Structures are given as C-alpha cells and as structure tokens.
Amino acid sequence: MQKLKFITLSLALLFSLSCKNNNEADDYQNNLDNSVKNIHTNLQKELNTDIPSLSVYVVSPKGTFFSSVMGSNGSAVNKKTYFRFASNTKNFTSTAILKMMQDGWLNLDDKIIANIPGTAVPYLPTGADWEFKYKNDITIRQLLQHNAGIYDLTNDTSQYSVGGKTYADNKLETSPNFQFSAADYVKVLASNNLSYGPPNTVYHYSNTGFTILSEIIARVYTQKSGTAKTYGNYMYDKIVGPSSKVPLDIKFPELGTDQQLPVSYVTGFIKYSDHSEITDKKNASAHIGEGNGVGSMEMLSQYIRSVMKGENVLNSASVQQMKTSKGPATTGNYGLGCSYFPGIGYGHNGATEGYLSLMTYDPDNDVSIIILLPFWDLRSDANFEKCIMTLNTTGLETKKALGY
C-alpha cells in the first residue's frame, strides 16, 4: 500500500513538472511570436512598405523555437527552407582554414607566397597576373582578419569601377554566366595596383580577400589529396558532406551556370525607388569562399552550435582563435571569419541580393539564433541600413523573449 502511494505521488509530481515545462515552453513561444511580429510591423511602418517575411530559429536549453511573420506579398518560410546565406560563408571558410591548420596542412602565419608545408608548391600561383600589391607581405591570418589590405572588387568602387559599377557587378551585367575565379580577381588587383594599404595597417572588409583564401584551400587540398580539387570539394569532403563530422545538406555552388536554389526555397525581394525585383537565381561563382553558401536555418544552427562548442571539426583552441584573434588594425569585433554581436553571440551575418541573415551562438547561455529577412530596401542607404540593423534588433529581442 505504501509503495502504491509512493508511485502515485511520483506520477503526480512528474505530471506537474511536465505541465509546468509545457507552459513555460508555450510562454517562450508566445513571447517570441510577439517580438517577431512587433519587429516586422515596426519595420513596415518605418519603411512604409510590405516586408515579405521575418523568421527566427532558436536552439537553447529552454527549448527549440521557430517563429515567422509573413507580409502580404511574402511566402511561407520554415526552418528547412533554403536561402542564400551570403557572407555567413566566411565563417565556413575560416573553419576550413583552421581545420587545415589543425591537420598540419598550413600555418596561419605563413606568408601567402610561402610553400605549402611538405611541398615545393606555393599557397598561391606565381606570375605577373598574381603579383598584386603587398602580396609578399600578407599572411593567411591577415586575410581571415580583413587586415591584409586586399581591395574589394565586389563591393567597392572607390579605387576601381567599370561604368560606375564594381568589377563583379559590371561583369555579371554584361555576362550573366561568366565563370569567376580567384585568378580573375587578382589579375584586376595586379594590373590596377589596387590596395587599401600594407597588411596590419588598415582594417577593411574584403570579399576578394576571402576569395583568395578559397584558392589557398583548393591548392592545399590538391597537394594533400594528390588530385585536382576545388574549394567546394574540400567543403563537401571535410566540412559539411556525408563523410564530414557533422553532415549537413549545405551547398557551395562554384559554377557560373549553377544558379538554381534547391527546393524548397524562399525568394529574395529588392525594392528600388522606381521598381521592385524578386531574386532567386544567382551566379554564385562571383562569391566563392566569401558568399556562395546555400542552406536552411536549421542547418546553419546545427553548424554554428557544433563548431562553437568544439563538437565539429575544430578543437577548443581553434575555436578560441576564431573568436578572438583580431588584427592590430581591427576596430570592431571581428576575429578570424567571425564577429561578436554584443548581447547576441559569435558568428557572422550575410547580405546578398534580396537576402539578409544572421547566424550566432552565445557560449555563455548555449543559445544559437538564426535570423532570415529576405528583403532589401534600396530606395536609400538609410532604408537599407534599417534592414540590416533589424537583424541585430531581432537577435536581442529573441534573447529577451526567452528570458536571457
């Protein structure tokens, strides 16, 4: 009789705890839904236009939560929906470089003109087309830190432009299927003597610098495998593919003609002063190693959580370097392909035509947050800045909604 009474009390206690946990989870979900809805509504009011959607995916000790608000001309998004995650790719490239360092395949502080360890082959090709300014002084670490002084041929027109457009944008406009390569970019750097300055004297975000890193990854992997390899081959074989430590269906398209997103995907939306555009197809070869990644919110969460917790291909020492190894010229919170977003966590953000996203992990609270805003407002610089800042606002409000 006493035993039966004990069992009855235990079951009652378990039921009570279960109800409490379920109620807490419901409260967190409601808080998150309200926060996302308010942010979406406020952004629509500020910009005086419809915002297709705003979505958040959170994994935390308090539970896993997804929330999405859809505008009048948006389409439904879920945690498995594919999108172009743009410069979040840089964190993957950093992981690849650090993995190669752990394996003894390269040294972060090697000059990029040095030979790949154990070979007579340099990290980068030689020849006039590859003799860009300060090449002899630049290290692999400086490229990761954006401290190498590499001029950005996909974002900047201050030193070089074609018809008022960046080199990459002009090329895409005149030849949509053009096959970009690191060799293509460095030839422009070399022939026009382009640079932001000597390494470690200036911090300047550079997509082109990370494209050069993708070439290093391809050349190192080629030497170590004994057969011709690309950046995408290494990412598939060692970082995200079926034989990697944490397999994910993330893709890094490299061909100029490989422009279709996997099913199912969300389209991006760009609003101009005189018209609007829907975006989905893209020649991602223009952004190899710096912005060609494609995946879902769920995949990005699995990736950033496992990497930052030392449960993927990087050990804790490498993760610490990624987070904290800043260049002497760095003025913000950028380490090795990794930024710290105060109050949100470590990771990266991304912006490519029609898509904005944020990928972070907070090690203090074990919280990963992925945010997707498939919308650009290019009617003014201020409007576009508001779109970008919405990512940070959403990250902070997400933490608050879950009681962090």
Per-residue model confidence as pLDDT tens digits over 249-277? 999 999 999 999 999 999 999 999 999 99
Structure token digits, residue 400: 């608050």
Per-residue model confidence as pLDDT tens digits over 344-365? 999 999 999 999 999 999 999 9
Q: Does position 45 have pLDDT exceeding 60, yes or no? A: yes
Instruction: State the CATH number of the domain containing residue 218.
Output: 3.40.710.10
Separation of alpha carbons 252 and 242, rounded Å: 14
Q: What's the whole-model pTM score?
A: 0.94
pLDDT attached to residue 165: 97
pLDDT attached to residue 328: 98
DSSP assignment of 197-258 equals: SSTTS-----HHHHHHHHHHHHHHHHHHHTS---HHHHIIIIIISTTSSS----B---STT-
Q: Does position 247 have pLDDT exceeding 70, yes or no? A: yes
Structure token digits, residue 4: 């039966």
Single-letter code of the amino acid located at 313 = V
Separation of alpha carbons 231 and 374, rounded Å: 27
The C-alpha R_g of the chain, in whole angstroms, comes to 23
Separation of alpha carbons 101 and 106, rounded Å: 5
* CA angle, residues 374, 378, 383, in degrees to nearest 5: 85
- If you average pLDDT over every residue of the chain, what do you get? 95
Structure token digits, residue 177: 């299927």
Structure token digits, residue 161: 């432009």
The residue among 138, 229, 233 whose CA lies nearest residue 186 is 138
The verdict on residue 379 lying in a domain is yes
The verdict on residue 75 lying in a domain is no
Q: Does position 298 have pLDDT exceeding 90, yes or no? A: yes
The verdict on residue 179 lying in a domain is yes
Parallel, antiparallel or unpaired: strands 367-373 and 375-377: unpaired
pLDDT attached to residue 17: 46
The verdict on residue 58 lying in a domain is no
Domain of residue 143 covers: 83-401
Averaged over 79-93, what is the pLDDT?
A: 98
Contact status, residue 360 vs residue 347, Cβ threshold 8 Å: yes
Separation of alpha carbons 366 and 121, rounded Å: 42
The verdict on residue 256 lying in a domain is yes
Angle, helices 297-308 vs 316-324, to 10°: value is 110
pLDDT attached to residue 7: 58
Tally of domains within the chain: 1
Question: Which is more confident, 337 or 5?
Answer: 337
How many other CB atoms are there within 10 angstroms of residue 3's CB atom?
7
User: Residue 114 burial (CB < 10 Å; 0-12/13-18/19+)?
Assistant: middle
Per-residue model confidence as pLDDT tens digits over 132-179? 999 999 999 999 999 999 999 999 999 999 999 999 999 999 999 999
Q: Does position 13 have pLDDT exceeding 50, yes or no? A: no
The verdict on residue 51 lying in a domain is no
41 phi and psi, to 5 degrees? Answer: -60, -45
pLDDT attached to residue 22: 78
Contact status, residue 105 vs residue 121, Cβ threshold 8 Å: no
For the chain, percent of residues with pLDDT exceeding 70: 95
The verdict on residue 231 lying in a domain is yes
Q: Does position 16 have pLDDT exceeding 60, yes or no? A: no
